């Protein structure tokens, strides 16, 4: 085990992938300087400017070039720093990257990774605080992962680069600097496998990314109240490991689904609907969702706090699903 | 100087043959569509044949092209076989894309045809990416991005040209300036008359070419492709042409005068090339007729192939969303 | 009552709005020729090129110009013909139009309409067949409407233009040419009000847009089987008239939520989750969703039919929710 | 010719005062941020003051500007009061945007400041839309779109310039070429050295200006604004400058040599303007000091205002998502 931050985990995964396979290149704004969050630091020195490519502020072309490279033999990783900037490349992500394999009848794969940082970090305000997985997960042809700790960051990014399909890798900004243990060696976390972070029999909390940390805290508070929550960290949203979720819900009969993204129409709605559809008879109460209130993310801290959920909201939701309100 | 000076007779005749095959194919597509045989919508390439034929003649088989919604001509010129294209237009299982793509998404990566594209200017950045990849892999492959006069106002045009120019990538950006984007004259939406001036914003060569003259399209493409291959960076070719038909088959064409269309049809690129070849004693009437007849046979065979092919099975509809299903 | 197509309904609504208020202008590609589906035909003649503005193929700038005009005193309507083209303007729609009012502290309104055609129409394939309301509804700051008949088309478009906020108006391509009765005069349908199309006591079908037509057919088939479905046409997705839905579900206890868009992560997931959250005790069976299978829309008719749902799938879903499978 | 020839003494001194107010405001913001008083991130305008001050001096109060992530200078020059800007940076209820926007979204529509914008080049199309609206309403208002050398490669730059040029809209596109986009020199991402050549792609005037010379920024802006107001269409002004500080406060600035920064700081636009004004006998040492002192007082008052103002109440967080709640 080594201890490293999310940022270092990215560098580590990138370095392993780039050493192993010289088709792996990385493109993004300021990338040769290490990227906005230092997640690419040191790669230029080892791999040079042919593989670590500074891009102009042209998100659409970053993605289009990535697609062009991916379908002609490379395995590019594109970086978009803040996830809102992907909105300037949506045509390329959705109409091109996601659809090429299918639309062309399977004759080509599109092995690329789109990496972006999402979520709230100290009042970055409306255009730099969103979580947009609800968009990517809805659109067929994209795989989507969102780690909650450096080991998964390392392992999922490695799996994403090794995957032959377009994978959107989303990392919450607030946890990027956090450190944690990462298994030695070339640690890989397969796409599509959730992790049970804590076992419990009273209710199931399903979440991912930063919300897993809030949920760990919430689980402790709940335990003090005598409520034992099982905590599932999805890690991979597409493909979704529904089996792990359903087998937990089958035991607990109660479920809270949480994310930092907007609740309305968010990915949590899919998880709740899927659970309801497949385990209705096991449910002892209506699943409860936790997500951001339906407003752009405000700047001022008290407003930001009012819109974006944390462990308090998770505790409240757990108590609600337990019928304790 | 002879018009065909920089061409072997074989090449000159090959360009002719490509143009004729496109024309005959597209004319048949028009008929088939009007007869209700083809699903979807079709945009034909009739009138613009000298561009695809001339440009692709300057390319190697393993060079790349990205195409547009009006992509059949590019597909044919780049070396796709007619049968799979036609079968794709029919939505058959034997189509180039197994019936998944249709007219707007014809592709064959094995001949470097990286796809027709239903998004205007959608192929330009992809061409730049293919050129970046070729440079990195050291293959000297060139990429051509075809687009229309309508596409030149899209942001991706700017982003692609700036990126390709900055890295001196081996891309040729070929604007097929057929004067209209759907129903709208380019003069209503575009701030400059001569589209080639846009190259100056990137410090790359920009050349206006008579796109109905196969000698010119080939010559300018050859020079641009050579520059691209030798590390000289991208070129913008503004090829002036005209589409003989509507934007799509079925277009009522209320937006342009039939007199204008008639006048422009006089500059038929195929007739013109036939005259040139005849003048330079490279072609006889008999030879010309044989090319048309052969193309007709080939297209008929493609139609037969398509019609006799099965539709894909609905049960396969969810295949190939992903390469790897975890 | 007059009879008109959806296309004529658009022209009619536009004309009323433009006559009444000279701040209303319309911008789009080929718009002076009537637009891709003839929905703007005749406007140029009456209102001239200052108000009916042909735009270059620059979706991002169509939207940005629309925002700039909207915040400086006009009430622009932007047309994007196929909804997939909005992906090229997502930054402007989401980061600018939707957020301006909030981010600037309420000092400005953004009274614009974004009109786009969605859905499947005779094998238009992967880049011209999608339904993307699941994206727009998730993002705060946008209102979203999707009519199922010419009267609602007329009335909702009129309301959208009169509204002071950005409204996304989505019209299914397959029904644009369909004709239907439209009340005389300046018919307006307020945003946020669902319509009960058919009453029934066995189950509730919640849907909108083209799927309402499939549902009407399905209801007839179900009636022949002795099943009486209540049919709710949402018309407006944001704001969502959940009261009408809940009061129906309270009576029937069974619900099918259907749309042509992809089922996974679609707007239906929100509706199901909201119903489950607020009427769990009334539910007698798990809500069933109907939506497109998770693939880009294929070209070939048998494949397209396999991916995109119609009335058969609705009947099957209704039987499932009735426990008849 | 005197440098201040086309200016009244009042105007010349007014430009000086604006520059000083921006400098003092931004210096204080830097301190406050480093002291942990401000949430979010801040990008300061120090070193670029001659641009906002010169350009906005050429505008009327009801003209429009759109701004960038580096927007405080534009906001001040366009006439926003310092108190509400500072309170906004503090996230206070009395802020220009009631604490909802913060540094990157400062706006005041009542003085035509249509918003700082966190999306690079995000304001250019909005400026074009404002100009279209002004033309339609017959108000003769001009719109200025500020953006950076990094923004010039964004597709929206191209789309906005083409649209504005086609319609001869009253927009002035002001590129603040401070040589870097975040950590990246423009030379690494941009295909041309002189950014003003990009105007030629649209058939509009493109002029490179010494952006540290307030006489030049004002003079060129005045001409461009005049043309814009009179129906002569848009202009691209490439104003060469340099940011003295990091990209944001806290930037370690590993990407540029401190010698380069030192050299560039010699061309301080404020000192230079003070020398000019002194040479032309428009300013005395005493007058200059008074302006700085006054600005310091004003900024201190703004800080006091901000610090004494309440935070917004969390319970109001869902207000103003919509104007009309149905
Ligand atoms: C991004 C985008 N916007 C709009 C359209 C609709 N559309 C299809 S073809 C076309 C006109 C294209 O004109 P041009 O680029 O000149 O090509 P041409 O049809 O003349 O070959 C338009 C607007 C589209 N396919 N993609
Ligand atoms: C669309 C988009 N991409 C990336 C960013 C991240 N970003 C913020 S400022 C900046 C550099 C902008 O450079 P420039 O336009 O030269 O302005 P300057 O900071 O030099 O004033 C970048 C890349 C962004 N805000 N928006
Ligand atoms: Mg054209
Ligand atoms: Mg800069």
Q: Do B202 and D191 touch (CB under 8 A)?
A: yes
Tell me the average pLDDT across C221-226.
98
Ranges of chain D with pLDDT below 70: 1-4, 326
High-pLDDT (> 90) share of chain A, %? 97
Residue B3 has pLDDT above 80, yes or no: no
Tell me the average pLDDT across C125-149.
98
Determine if ligand 2 sits within 6 Å of the CB of residue D120.
yes
The ligand that comes nearest to the alpha carbon of residue D43 is 2
D173 Cβ neighbours under 8 A, 6+ residues apart: D124, D127, D144, D145, D147, D157, D160, D161, D164, D234, D235, D236, D237
pLDDT tens column, B4-32: 677 899 999 999 999 999 999 999 999 99
pLDDT on residue B326: 66
Tell me the average pLDDT across C104-116.
98
Cβ pairs B/C, distance under 8 A: 123
Mutation target among B119, B195, B246 for the C interface, most CBs of C within 10 A: B119
Show residues of chain B in contact with D166, CB under 8 Å: 188-191
Maximum distance among all Cα pairs of chain C, rounded to whole angstroms: 59
The ligand that comes nearest to the alpha carbon of residue B153 is 1
pLDDT tens column, C229-249: 999 999 999 999 999 999 999
Question: Which residues on neighbouring strands pair with residue B236, listed in sequence order?
Answer: B173, B206
Q: Report the alpha-carbon distance of residue A323 to residue B18 in Å, rounded.
A: 74
Instruction: Report residue C225 CA to chain centroid gap.
Output: 30
pLDDT on residue B325: 80
Active site residues of A: 128
Determine if ligand 1 sits within 6 Å of the CB of residue C57.
yes
Determine if ligand 1 sits within 6 Å of the CB of residue B119.
yes
Provide the Cα torsion C240, C245, C246, C250; round to 10°. Answer: 180
Q: Which of B64, B63, B81 is nearest to B72 (CA)?
A: B81
Q: Which of C84, C5, C74 is nearest to C41 (CA)?
A: C5
| Phi, psi of C22, deg, nearest 5 | -80, 5
Among the partner residues B118, B126, B320, nearest to A68 by beta-carbon distance: B126
Q: Do B136 and A50 touch (CB under 8 A)?
A: yes
Domains C2-182 and C195-321 are alike in CATH topology: yes
Cα distance from B3 to chain C (closest Cα, Å)? 36
CB C97 within 8 A of CB C110: yes
Q: Do D190 and B153 touch (CB under 8 A)?
A: no
- Ligand 2, atom 17, lies closest to the CA of D148
Q: Which of D223, D161, B103, B250 is nearest to C61 (CA)?
A: D161
pLDDT on residue C325: 75
Among the partner residues A29, A88, A305, nearest to D182 by beta-carbon distance: A29
DSSP state of B313: P
Show residues of chain A in contact with C125, CB under 8 Å: 103
Q: Which of D135, D160, D132, D136 is nearest to D146 (CA)?
A: D160
Determine if ligand 2 sits within 6 Å of the CB of residue D150.
yes
| Cα separations in angstroms, B245 against B19, B40, B182, B253, C299 | 16, 17, 11, 9, 24
pLDDT on residue D326: 66
Q: What is the CA(B120)–ligand 1 centre distance, in A?
A: 5
Q: Does domain C195-321 have CATH number 3.40.50.920?
A: yes
CB < 8 Å from C in window 81-120 of A: 84-85, 87-88, 90-91, 94-95, 98-99, 102-103
Would you call C128 a catalytic residue per the annotation?
yes
What is the arrangement of strands in the sheet containing A229-233, beginning at the earlier edge strand?
A: A195-198, A229-233, A203-207, A255-262, A288-292
Among the partner residues D95, D182, D190, nearest to A30 by beta-carbon distance: D182
Residue C274 has pLDDT above 60, yes or no: yes
Average pLDDT taken over every residue of chain C? 97
Question: Pairing relation of β-strands C167-172 and C203-207?
Answer: unpaired
Query: In sequence order, what DSSP letters do the residues of C59-122 get, joined into one string?
Result: HHHHHHHHHHHHTTT-EEEEEEEEGGGGGGGHIIIIIIITTHHHHTTTS-----EEEEEES--S
pLDDT tens column, A168-217: 999 999 999 999 999 999 999 999 999 999 999 999 999 999 999 999 99
D195 Cβ neighbours under 8 A, 6+ residues apart: D149, D152, D175, D177, D186, D208, D238
Q: What is the CA(D150)–ligand 2 centre distance, in A?
A: 6
CB B206 within 8 A of CB B197: yes
Q: Which one is the CATH code of C2-182: 3.40.1390.10, 3.40.50.970, 3.10.20.30, 1.10.620.20?
A: 3.40.50.970
Query: pLDDT class for B108, splitting at 50, 70, 90?
Result: very high
Residue B1 has pLDDT above 60, yes or no: no
Break chain D into its structural domains and give their ranges: 9-316
CB A159 within 8 A of CB A188: yes
pLDDT on residue A35: 87
D198: alpha, beta or left? (left if phi > 0; alpha if psi -120 to 50): alpha
B229 Cβ neighbours under 8 A, 6+ residues apart: B140, B142, B170
Q: Do B191 and D202 touch (CB under 8 A)?
A: yes
CA atoms within 13 A on the CB side of D7: 27
- Count of helices and strands (H, E) across chain D: 10, 7
**Coil, helix or strand for A216?**
helix
Among the partner residues D125, D132, D319, nearest to C106 by beta-carbon distance: D319
Tell me the average pLDDT across C146-159.
98
The ligand that comes nearest to the alpha carbon of residue D153 is 2
Residue A76 has pLDDT above 80, yes or no: yes
Among the partner residues D105, D159, D319, nearest to C60 by beta-carbon distance: D159
Tell me the average pLDDT across A9-28.
97
Q: Which of ligand 1's atoms lies nearest the C-alpha of B186? A: 16
Q: Report the alpha-carbon distance of residue B172 to residue D80 in Å, rounded.
A: 48
Break chain A into its structural domains and give their ranges: 2-182, 195-321
Determine if ligand 1 sits within 6 Å of the CB of residue C59.
yes
Q: Is the pTM of this model over 0.90?
A: yes
Q: Which residue of C has its CA nearest to A96?
A: C127
Q: CATH topology for D9-316?
A: Rossmann fold (3.40.50)
Determine if ligand 1 sits within 6 Å of the CB of residue B251.
no
**Coil, helix or strand for A195?**
strand
Q: Which residue of B has its CA nearest to C302?
A: B314
Query: pLDDT class for A37, splitting at 50, 70, 90?
Result: confident
Provide the residue count of chain A.
325
Query: In sequence order, what DSSP letters do the residues of B95-148 get, joined into one string?
Result: STTTTSS-GGG--BGGGTB----SSTTTTHHHHHHHHHHHHHHT----EEEEEE
| Cα separations in angstroms, C99 against A175, A295, D9, D314 | 25, 9, 42, 18
* Tokens (6 digits) for A82: 């803040």
Q: Which residue of C has its CA nearest to D95?
A: C105
- Ligand 1, atom 19, lies closest to the CA of B181
pLDDT tens column, A218-257: 999 999 999 999 999 999 999 999 999 999 999 999 999 9
Q: What is the CA(D53)–ligand 4 centre distance, in A?
A: 18
Show residues of chain C in contact with A88, CB under 8 Å: 60, 90-91
Q: ipTM, 2 decimals?
A: 0.98
Show residues of chain C in contact with B315, CB under 8 Å: 306
Query: pLDDT class for C37, splitting at 50, 70, 90?
Result: confident
Q: Do B129 and A103 touch (CB under 8 A)?
A: no
* Tokens (6 digits) for A263: 């609740």
Cβ pairs A/C, distance under 8 A: 139
Determine if ligand 1 sits within 6 Å of the CB of residue C68.
no
Determine if ligand 2 sits within 6 Å of the CB of residue D182.
yes
CB B150 within 8 A of CB C58: no
The ligand that comes nearest to the alpha carbon of residue B51 is 1
Tell me the average pLDDT across C222-227.
98
Q: Report the alpha-carbon distance of residue A315 to residue A317 in Å, rounded.
A: 5
């Amino acid at each position: 085990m080594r201890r490293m931050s999310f940022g270092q985990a990215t560098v580590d995964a990138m370095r392993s992938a780039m050493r192993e396979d010289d088709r792996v290149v990385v493109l993004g704004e300021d990338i040769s300087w290490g990227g906005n969050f230092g997640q690419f630091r040191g790669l230029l020195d080892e791999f040079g400017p042919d593989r670590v490519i500074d891009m102009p502020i042209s998100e659409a072309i970053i993605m289009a070039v990535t697609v062009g490279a991916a379908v002609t033999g490379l395995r590019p990783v594109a970086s978009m720093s803040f996830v809102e900037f992907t909105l300037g490349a949506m045509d390329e992500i959705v109409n091109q990257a996601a659809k090429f394999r299918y639309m062309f009848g399977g004759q080509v794969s599109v092995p690329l990774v789109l990496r972006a940082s999402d979520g709230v970090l100290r009042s970055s305000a409306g255009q730099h605080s969103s979580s947009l997985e609800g968009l990517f997960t809805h659109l067929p042809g994209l795989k989507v992962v969102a780690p909650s700790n450096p080991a998964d960051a390392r392992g999922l990014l490695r799996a994403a680069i090794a995957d032959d399909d377009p994978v959107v890798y989303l990392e919450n900004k607030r946890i990027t600097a956090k450190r944690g243990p990462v298994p030695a060696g070339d640690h890989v976390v397969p796409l599509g496998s959730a992790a049970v972070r804590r076992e419990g029999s009273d209710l199931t909390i399903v979440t991912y990314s930063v919300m897993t940390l809030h949920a760990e805290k919430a689980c402790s508070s709940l335990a003090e109240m005598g409520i034992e929550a099982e905590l599932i960290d999805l890690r991979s949203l597409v493909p979704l490991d529904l089996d792990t979720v359903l087998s937990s819900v089958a035991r607990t009969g109660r479920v809270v689904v949480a994310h930092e993204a907007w609740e309305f129409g968010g990915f949590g709605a899919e998880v709740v609907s899927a659970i309801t559809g497949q385990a209705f008879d096991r449910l002892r109460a209506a699943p409860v969702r936790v997500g951001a209130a339906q407003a752009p993310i405000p700047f001022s801290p008290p407003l930001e706090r009012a819109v974006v959920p944390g462990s308090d909201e998770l505790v409240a939701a757990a108590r609600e699903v337990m019928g304790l309100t | 100087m002879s018009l065909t000076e920089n061409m072997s007779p074989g090449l000159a005749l090959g360009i002719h043959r490509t143009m004729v095959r496109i024309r005959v194919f597209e004319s048949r597509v028009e008929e088939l569509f009007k007869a209700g045989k083809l699903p979807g919508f079709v945009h034909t390439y009739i009138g613009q044949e000298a561009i695809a034929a001339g440009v692709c003649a300057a390319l190697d088989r393993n060079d790349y092209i990205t195409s547009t919604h009006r992509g059949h001509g590019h597909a044919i010129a780049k070396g796709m076989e007619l049968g799979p294209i036609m079968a794709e237009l029919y939505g058959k299982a034997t189509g180039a894309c197994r019936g998944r793509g249709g007219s707007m998404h014809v592709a064959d990566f094995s001949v470097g045809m990286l796809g027709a594209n239903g998004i205007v200017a959608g192929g330009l950045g992809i061409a730049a990416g293919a050129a970046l990849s070729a440079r990195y892999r050291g293959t000297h492959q060139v990429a051509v991005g075809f687009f229309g006069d309508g596409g030149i106002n899209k942001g991706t045009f700017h982003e692609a040209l700036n990126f390709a120019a900055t890295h001196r990538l081996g891309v040729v950006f070929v604007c097929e300036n057929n004067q209209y984007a759907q129903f709208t004259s380019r003069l209503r939406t575009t701030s400059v008359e001569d589209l080639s001036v846009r190259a100056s914003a990137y410090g790359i060569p920009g050349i206006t070419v008579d796109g109905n003259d196969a000698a010119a399209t080939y010559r300018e493409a050859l020079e641009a492709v050579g520059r691209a291959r030798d590390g000289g960076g991208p070129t913008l070719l503004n090829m002036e042409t005209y589409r003989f038909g509507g934007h799509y088959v079925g277009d009522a064409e209320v937006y342009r005068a039939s007199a204008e269309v008639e006048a422009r049809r006089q500059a038929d690129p195929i007739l013109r090339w036939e005259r040139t070849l005849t003048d330079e004693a490279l072609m006889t009437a008999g030879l010309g007729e044989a090319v048309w007849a052969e193309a007709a046979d080939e297209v008929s065979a493609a139609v037969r192939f398509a019609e006799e092919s099965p539709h894909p099975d609905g049960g396969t509809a969810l295949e190939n969303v992903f390469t790897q299903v975890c």
